[in-house]
Amino acid sequence: MAGTLGERMGIQLLEASPQRIVATMPVDGNTQPFGLLHGGASCVLAETLGSIGATLHAHEVGQAYAVGVDINATHHKAARDGIMTGVATPLRLGRNVATYEIVISDESGDRVCTARLTCLLRDR
């Protein structure tokens, strides 16, 4: 992830396949002015994971890359510190569209955010 927003935010990729993508991100450095995890940071983690999975799937179906076309997120719980873990799993993997659910949890395993990302799969 050299030179990407994910690197700047401290995202560490742990596992990647079209069926499951896992990464961590620290709360520290990714907060809003009140010291809570920024909702946008959760969206960046979610889009990073879903885009990686969609791109891996794109290669399997003869496409070159994936571009996000829709993201939504529900923030369930605030976080002030620690490491968040995101797990992306596919809801639908098609030839031209891939949709992932991304669950972001804190170190206690409590769900902090649930996001859904839809990517368009493109050829060169």
Q: Which positions are annotated as active-site residues?
A: 47
Per-residue exposure over 84-122, b if at least 16 CB sit within 10 Å of its own CB, e if not: bbbbbbbeebeeeebbbebbbbbeeeeebbbbbbbbbbe
CA-to-CA distance for 7 and 89, rounded, in angstroms?
22
Amino acid letter, 29: G
Instruction: Report the length, in residues, of the chain.
Output: 124
- First-to-final CA distance of the chain: 22
